[in-house]
């Protein structure tokens, strides 16, 4: 089917911002900007709204198609922390096919068997089965010798390692960052030093092996300093962050709201400001949702006993657009952090409005107001720390490979 999307504001990570349209022929983009509309084309007037590449969400923990579509997401990098763990080619292959055709799942295979941090998983076989990267999951590989082997093996296979940036020995059973808030609440806490300790070791190993490493979430000033320095040295490192760690500090936990029990835990205000600075100077490469919906049986518990995680897929775009309105980043940079950036880390040829690229597109109204309501979210569960927050930005239409999803 040929579809002509006309009268749009185009925002492309590589082509910049312009006015015009996009012509979809089959599964791919056939023309961009001004073009002759074929007689048999189905014409859609975008009424001046923003047309951009659909979101590639790197690092989700749960497949949640309605939430992804509501948030403009058509591809996800699925974390290996599944049941069973993504450490077997059959499991990896099955995971890659779950959501198609509306949501393409790109499995991140476990770097070690069972994510136990001891024996290397069969990375080459898992890659051939559909894995686009390997990861440590939410766990930290304590054995530096094993971690070096993981990086060397992944590097030989051309795969990025998605790493957890928390030293498990320092973190222990902590559910909060050590400081005044955790002390007042009486919560098990660990110093934020757990993050830069893990990053420092893994950066040295990545530099030694020449492998590509991506830290799923970096949230501390010391962590960003290490990443900046490594990038200057030419280390192949990238890092991501969620809107929650950009917008909230540990003060948000003060009323024991378990929706704010996240991993990594929320940091103090000085680290949050460091996150915003890292966003502005380009140290942060991508934005991700960390989508991990948890029902009341896991959240309606004492804070220390509750499960960490948040439902972030359907609020990712709206919360991120707030950074544009606050003039911390440009809209073009935001779209790159949501599409082309994650795609590049995972080795996917998507995320741009270029001729021949997959027709993965979203049309959204950046000024459309709505209220985040945990009880009305389409996600499997509504455990968002932003419950009750008014936001702007809503997805109007969504296409995956030229097929309309909403």
Q: How confident is the model at residue 42 (pLDDT cuts 50, 70, 90)?
A: very high
Given this model, what pLDDT does residue 187 score? 98
- Domains of the chain (ranges plus CATH)? 53-354+366-387 (3.20.20.140)
Percentage of residues of the chain with pLDDT beyond 70: 100
Is the pLDDT reported for residue 153 higher than 90?
Answer: yes
Is the pLDDT reported for residue 99 higher than 90?
Answer: no
The average pLDDT across 231-237 equals 98
Over the Cα atoms of the chain, what is R_g?
21
Q: How confident is the model at residue 317 (pLDDT cuts 50, 70, 90)?
A: very high
Length of the chain: 406
Given this model, what pLDDT does residue 294 score? 96
The average pLDDT across 193-216 equals 98
Q: How confident is the model at residue 293 (pLDDT cuts 50, 70, 90)?
A: very high
Q: How confident is the model at residue 304 (pLDDT cuts 50, 70, 90)?
A: very high
- The mean pLDDT value of the chain amounts to 97
Is the pLDDT reported for residue 1 higher than 90?
Answer: no
Contacts 24+ apart (CB under 8 A), 223-226: 223/165, 223/195, 223/196, 223/199, 224/274, 224/275, 224/277, 224/278, 224/283, 224/284, 225/196, 226/196, 226/199, 226/200
State pLDDT tens for residues 321-330: 999 999 999 9
Q: What angle do CA 130, 133, 135 make, to 5 degrees?
A: 125
Global confidence as pTM: 0.97
Q: How confident is the model at residue 260 (pLDDT cuts 50, 70, 90)?
A: very high
- Helix, strand, or coil (residue 60): strand
The average pLDDT across 210-214 equals 98
Query: What whole-number distance in Å separates Cα of residue 265 and Cα of residue 175?
Result: 6
Is the pLDDT reported for residue 331 higher than 90?
Answer: yes
DSSP conformation class of 324? H
Is the pLDDT reported for residue 362 higher than 90?
Answer: yes
Given this model, what pLDDT does residue 100 score? 86
């Amino acid at each position: 089917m040929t579809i002509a999307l006309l009268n749009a504001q185009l925002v492309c990570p590589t082509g910049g911002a312009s006015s015009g349209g996009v012509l979809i022929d089959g599964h791919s983009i056939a023309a961009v900007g001004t073009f002759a509309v074929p007689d048999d084309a189905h014409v859609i007037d975008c009424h001046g709204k923003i047309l951009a590449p659909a979101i590639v969400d790197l690092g989700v923990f749960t497949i949640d198609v309605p939430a992804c579509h509501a948030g403009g997401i058509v591809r996800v990098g699925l974390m290996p922390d599944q049941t069973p763990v993504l450490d077997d080619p059959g499991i990896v292959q099955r995971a890659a096919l779950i959501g198609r055709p509306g949501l393409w799942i790109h499995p991140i295979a476990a770097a070690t068997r069972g994510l136990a941090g001891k024996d290397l998983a069969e990375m080459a076989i898992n890659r051939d089965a559909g894995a686009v990267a390997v990861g440590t999951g939410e766990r930290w590989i304590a054995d530096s010798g094993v971690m070096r082997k993981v990086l060397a093996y992944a590097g030989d296979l051309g795969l990025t390692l998605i790493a957890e940036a928390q030293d498990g020995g320092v973190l222990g059973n902590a559910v909060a960052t050590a400081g005044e808030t955790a002390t007042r609440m009486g919560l098990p806490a660990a110093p934020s030093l757990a993050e830069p300790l893990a990053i420092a070791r893994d950066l040295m190993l990545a530099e030694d092996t020449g492998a590509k490493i991506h830290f799923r979430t970096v949230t501390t000033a010391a962590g960003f300093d290490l990443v900046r320095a490594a990038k200057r040295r030419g280390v192949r490192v990238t890092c991501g962050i969620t809107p929650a760690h950009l917008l909230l500090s540990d003060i948000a936990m003060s009323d024991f709201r378990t929706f704010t029990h996240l991993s990594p835990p929320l940091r103090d205000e000085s680290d949050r400001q460091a996150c915003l600075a890292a966003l502005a100077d380009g140290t942060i490469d991508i934005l991700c949702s960390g989508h991990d919906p948890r029902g009341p049986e896991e959240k309606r518990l004492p804070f220390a006993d509750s499960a960490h995680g948040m439902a972030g897929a359907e609020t990712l775009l709206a919360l991120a657009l707030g950074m544009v309105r606050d003039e911390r980043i440009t809209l073009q940079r935001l779209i790159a952090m949501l599409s082309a950036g994650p795609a590049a880390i995972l080795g996917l040829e998507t995320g741009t409005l270029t001729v021949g690229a997959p027709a993965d597109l979203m049309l959204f109204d950046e000024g459309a107001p709505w209220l985040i309501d945990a009880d009305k979210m389409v996600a499997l569960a509504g455990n968002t720390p932003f419950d009750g927050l008014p936001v702007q930005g809503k997805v109007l239409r969504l296409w995956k490979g030229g097929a309309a999803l909403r």
